[in-house]
C-alpha cells in the first residue's frame, strides 16, 4: 500500500538534484522505479509536480507517494563477499554459485547487490540517511546467471559505470569461462556460431533462426573419460549464451538441468578471467579465479 512521506530540505543538502536525494533516502529501491514516480507526478516539491533534475533548495518540502512493499533492489545486508580487488572507482568480486546478482519480485534479500550495498556503505551507514550524497550505489556493468560462479566487475562511481559500460558495448573487455561439459570433444578449439532468441510462449531462450547473432569460441583444456574441461570465450553476450551453445554443440554443461546437462550439485560454469581497461587510468588489468572446489571434486 502506498503512503505519503514528507522531507524538509535542510541547508546541508541544498543544491542536490531531486532524483539523487530520493536515491539516497530509498536505497533499497531502484533508480528506474523512483524516476517513474517523479515523472508520473507522485512526487511533489512544495505541492507542485517537478522533474528528476530539479535542484532542491533550503526550505523545500518534498512529498512522495510510494509503496515501500515494492522495494526491488539494493537493501544493505551483511552478506560475505570474496573481494579480489578494490580502489576508489571499481570493485572485483568472486560471486559464488547459487547467489542472485540482483533482487527479483520473489527474492529481495541475499543477493550480490544487497551485499555490495552494505559493504560499500558500511562505514557510513548512518550518515547516508542524513546526506544521500554519501551513499555509494554499486553499478552493475555485466551479469552472471544465478548458478554461474566467478569474477564480476562492479563500478563504484557514475564515471566508472559510464566508461565500463562503454567498454563492454565496444567489446573491449576480455572474459573467459571454465566449463565442464558432457562427452569428449575431438577438436582442440573452435567456434560456435548460432543465433539466440526468446520463445515468448515458453518463456525460454534458445537457438532461434531469427534470433540475434551469438558467437562463442572454445578451447579444450583437458579431456576425461566422459567429460571435457573447456575454456569458453563469449564474443557476444546473449542471455544464457554459453549454456545454450554448449547444448547446441552436443555437449551440455554438467549440472545444467535447464538445457539438458547431467545432474550435479551445481552448474559447472565459472567466470575465471576478466581483463579490462581501468575506467580512470585506462591501464589494462586482468584478474583470474581458480576453478571452484566443487568443480574440481567432480573431475
Q: What is the DSSP string of 210-245?
A: TSB--EEEEEEEEE-SSEEEEEEEESS--TTHHHHH
Q: Where are the alpha helices (DSSP H) in 41-174?
A: 112-121, 127-130, 158-169
Q: How far apart are CA 8 and CA 170, in angstroms?
A: 44
Spell out the residues 6+ positions from residue 259 whose beta carbon is closer than 8 angstroms to its own: 240, 243, 244, 246, 247, 252, 253
Q: What is the DSSP string of 175-191?
A: EEEEEEEES----SEEE
Confirm if 286 and 277 have CB atoms less than 8 A apart. no
* Local structure of residue 5 (DSSP, 8 states): E
Query: CA angle, 114 as apex, 112 and 116 as ends, to 5°?
Result: 65
**Nearest residue to 20 via CA among 141, 128, 142:** 128
Confirm if 166 and 210 have CB atoms less than 8 A apart. no
Catalytic residue (choose from 145, 166, 193, 257): 145
Residues facing 150 on adjacent strands: 95, 271
Q: Is 145 a catalytic residue?
A: yes
Confirm if 28 and 71 have CB atoms less than 8 A apart. yes
- Phi/psi-derived region of residue 255, left when phi > 0, alpha when psi is between -120 and 50, beta in every other case: left
Distances in Å between the alpha carbon of 38 and those of 12, 14, 25, 49? 23, 19, 14, 8
Annotated catalytic residues are 145
Amino acid at each position: 500500500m502506498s503512503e505519503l512521506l514528507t522531507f524538509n530540505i535542510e541547508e546541508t543538502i541544498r543544491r542536490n538534484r531531486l532524483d539523487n536525494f530520493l536515491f539516497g533516502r530509498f536505497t533499497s529501491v531502484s533508480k528506474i522505479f523512483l524516476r517513474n514516480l517523479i515523472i508520473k507526478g507522485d512526487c511533489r516539491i512544495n505541492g507542485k509536480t517537478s522533474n528528476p533534475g530539479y535542484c532542491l533548495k533550503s526550505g523545500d518540502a518534498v512529498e512522495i507517494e510510494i509503496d515501500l512493499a515494492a522495494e526491488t533492489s539494493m537493501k544493505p545486508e551483511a552478506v560475505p563477499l570474496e573481494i579480489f580487488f578494490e580502489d576508489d572507482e571499481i570493485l572485483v568480486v568472486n560471486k559464488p554459485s547459487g547467489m542472485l546478482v540482483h533482487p527479483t519480485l520473489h527474492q529481495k534479500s541475499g543477493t550480490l547487490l544487497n551485499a555490495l550495498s552494505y559493504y560499500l556503505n558500511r562505514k557510513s551507514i548512518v550518515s547516508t540517511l542524513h546526506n544521500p550524497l554519501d551513499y555509494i550505489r554499486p553499478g552493475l556493468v555485466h551479469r552472471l546467471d544465478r548458478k554461474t560462479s566467478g569474477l564480476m566487475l562492479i563500478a563504484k562511481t557514475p564515471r566508472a559505470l559510464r566508461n565500463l559500460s562503454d567498454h563492454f558495448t565496444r567489446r573491449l573487455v576480455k572474459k573467459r569461462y571454465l566449463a565442464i561439459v558432457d562427452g569428449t570433444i575431438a577438436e582442440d578449439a573452435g567456434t560456435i556460431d548460432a543465433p539466440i532468441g526468446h520463445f515468448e510462449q515458453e518463456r525460454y531462450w534458445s537457438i532461434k533462426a531469427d534470433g540475434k547473432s551469438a558467437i562463442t569460441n572454445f578451447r579444450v583444456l583437458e579431456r576425461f573419460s566422459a567429460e571435457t574441461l573447456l575454456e569458453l570465450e563469449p564474443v557476444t553476450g546473449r542471455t544464457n549464451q554459453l549454456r545454450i551453445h554448449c547444448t547446441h554443440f552436443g555437449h551440455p554443461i554438467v549440472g545444467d538441468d535447464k538445457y539438458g546437462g547431467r545432474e550435479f550439485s551445481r552448474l559447472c560454469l565459472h567466470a575465471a578471467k576478466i581483463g579490462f581497461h581501468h575506467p580512470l587510468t585506462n591501464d589494462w588489468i586482468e584478474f583470474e579465479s581458480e576453478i571452484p572446489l566443487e568443480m574440481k571434486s567432480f573431475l
